[in-house]
């Protein structure tokens, strides 16, 4: 029974180490993608401020639509 526990711990350790190395290899690619995408708000939304960020974005879109409609109606 002891051998089974020891083998299980070794296997779990190997799996954990492989996951850590794959996450480290994939992390720089994710940062490059995030930097390339345009941000929707002038400031990043924190986990406590996500609702305000959504309201700010909705107001920005409303203003943009209002400007576009005004410019389309001018002959």
Asked if the model's pLDDT at residue 13 lies above 90, the reply is yes
pLDDT of the residue at 24 = 79
Residues 54 and 46 sit within 8 Å (Cβ to Cβ): no
Asked if the model's pLDDT at residue 12 lies above 90, the reply is yes
pLDDT of the residue at 27 = 65
pLDDT of the residue at 61 = 95
Residues 41 and 56 sit within 8 Å (Cβ to Cβ): yes
pLDDT of the residue at 75 = 58
């Amino acid at each position: 029974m002891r051998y089974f526990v020891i083998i299980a711990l070794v296997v779990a350790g190997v799996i954990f180490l492989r996951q850590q190395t794959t996450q480290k290899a994939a992390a720089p690619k994710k940062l490059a993608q995030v930097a390339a995408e345009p941000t929707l708000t002038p400031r990043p939304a924190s986990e406590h401020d996500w609702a305000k960020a959504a309201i700010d974005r909705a107001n920005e879109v409303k203003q943009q639509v209002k400007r576009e409609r005004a410019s389309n109606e001018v002959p």
